[in-house]
Amino acid sequence: MKKNNVLVSIDLGTSKTTVLVGDFDDTGELNIVGLGNTESNGIDKGIVVKPKDAILGLKKSIYDAETSSGVRIDSAIVNIGGQHLESKNISDFLTFGSNQKEIDEIDILTLVDKVSERVNQEQYKVIHIIPKKFILDDEDEVIDPKGFIASKILGEFHVVLCKVNTYANFKKVIESAGIKVIDFVANPIASAASTLYQEEKEMGVLLIDIGGGTTDIAVLKNGSFEFIKTIPVGGNRITLDIAHRFRISKSDAEELKIDFGLAIVEALTENKILEINPIGSEEIIEISQYELVDTIEARLEEIFNIVKQEVEAANLLDKINGGVVITGGVANTPYIKELAASIFNTDVRIGKPKDYRGFSDKLNYPEYSTPIGIMLFKKNNFNFEKKSVAIKEESDILSILKNILEKIKSIF
């Protein structure tokens, strides 16, 4: 295992904190060699609410990942998500006067720099500037313009921003655990990298990542991101609905949801009576499975309808010819595909992480799409034969785009 082929990803979420150690072999294949996973108590909806709890959980996951991999972890690439993320599509151009010239890397980086300056805001940090396409002399559309002759080049980009305070607080938690942050990757960007197929991204696909605290939305078309959005509702809201309806603890509600929950009432073959023996009480509570599933279906239906409204408002609902992909921990809910299909009226599948080896018995589930996706996204941004994965503490947009352009056709 070559040291400079190793990446560490951290997924600091509402429900769990996952640390993965990945090794890229000489063919570029990702092998997961270390895993640490603990319950998360200090993050809510992508915001640090209890720093000490978040740091303790992270340290435990780091220790477990180090123990299982034999690798000492001192730096990592980290997820970032929540409502404080914003995205927009933006374009800019360069002209070379009356003379034509061969487009080179400097031209592309200059164009990206112009975009970065335009979107740079005092309260926001640029997380991603992802190229979508380039247009030469107002006519020819290309993916990688290097080597083409033109007198004008226009680039279209998808830009992802994060509020500065949220960015700083996330970074501080990671560094307080003794880890240097070498880069951030937005949740939906990571999940898309590990779950989506190229054909889906070309046709138009809606990715819905339902985690514990939030639901991330991404729409891709013609191989590129068109829209990213986060809504502040996730699996924990379903747990609270159950707890409130039946007046039981959150832990009992979570257990019921996992053991007996379904996404649609119609899937029930019988109405079981479930018994709960609350801690500190001798009285047994009886709950019908029908009412339990009815509670879950109502909240999931609301989430999907909110997603549909957001995508419709962005004028993209009729662009998802490749269907809907659901990932994140809530995607494990039985019959969730059927519920989503009835709302979006299109094909739906469950997105599990792909294109990796190792720990498949533990990682082949939708809840691990983000930490694996972080590595897969970064794999396409670096040439491991020529460059160490150690990069500057602050994400250098121009440096990252330089590497993206080298392998731009393989990113999305």
The conformational region for residue 146 under phi > 0 = left, psi -120 to 50 = alpha, else beta, is beta
Instruction: Give the model's pLDDT for residue 3.
Output: 57
Comparing 363 with 280, the larger pLDDT belongs to 363
215, 275: one domain: yes
- Summarised one tens digit per residue, pLDDT across range 286-310 is 999 999 999 999 999 999 999 999 9
Instruction: Give the model's pLDDT for residue 17.
Output: 95
241, 333: one domain: yes
232, 292: one domain: yes
Instruction: Give the model's pLDDT for residue 2.
Output: 56
Instruction: Give the model's pLDDT for residue 45.
Output: 84
Instruction: Give the model's pLDDT for residue 119.
Output: 85
154, 220: one domain: no
Mean pLDDT of the chain: 89
- Asked, for residue 186, whether it belongs to a domain, the answer is no
250, 320: one domain: yes
- 406 band by pLDDT with thresholds 50, 70 and 90: very low
Phi and psi at residue 380, to the nearest 5°: -80, -5
- 401 band by pLDDT with thresholds 50, 70 and 90: low
Q: How far apart are CA 86 and CA 125, in angstroms?
A: 10
Domain of 302: which CATH number?
3.30.420.40
91, 213: one domain: no
**Does the structure show a pLDDT above 50 at 387?**
no
Q: Which residue has the tokens 């980009």?
A: 157
101, 243: one domain: no
Pairing of strands 348-350, 324-327: parallel
Instruction: Give the model's pLDDT for residue 35.
Output: 97
Instruction: Give the model's pLDDT for residue 363.
Output: 96
Last residue of a domain, one of 299, 333, 352: 352
For 153, the domain range is 85-162
- Asked, for residue 101, whether it belongs to a domain, the answer is yes
- Summarised one tens digit per residue, pLDDT across range 155-178 is 999 999 999 998 999 999 999 999
Least confident of 52-56, 336-340, 399-403: 399-403
- Asked, for residue 411, whether it belongs to a domain, the answer is no
146, 237: one domain: no
| Structural domain total, the chain | 2
- Asked, for residue 31, whether it belongs to a domain, the answer is no
343, 207: one domain: yes
Instruction: Give the model's pLDDT for residue 273.
Output: 96
> Average pLDDT, stretch 102-127?
88
Domain of 107: which CATH number?
3.30.1490.110
- 409 band by pLDDT with thresholds 50, 70 and 90: very low
Q: Which residue has the tokens 């980290």?
A: 78
Quote the tokens at residue 16: 């769990």
- Asked, for residue 258, whether it belongs to a domain, the answer is yes
- Summarised one tens digit per residue, pLDDT across range 236-267 is 999 999 999 999 999 999 999 999 999 999 99
297, 150: one domain: no
> Average pLDDT, stretch 347-366?
96
**Does the structure show a pLDDT above 70 at 41?**
yes
Percent helix, strand, coil in the chain, to 5, is: 40, 30, 30
Quote the tokens at residue 342: 């009835």
**Does the structure show a pLDDT above 50 at 410?**
no
- Asked, for residue 191, whether it belongs to a domain, the answer is no
Last residue of a domain, one of 352, 376, 401: 352
> Average pLDDT, stretch 105-114?
89
- Asked, for residue 61, whether it belongs to a domain, the answer is no
264, 206: one domain: yes
- Asked, for residue 311, whether it belongs to a domain, the answer is yes
- 98 band by pLDDT with thresholds 50, 70 and 90: confident
139, 238: one domain: no
Last residue of a domain, one of 352, 375, 405: 352
**Does the structure show a pLDDT above 60 at 355?**
yes
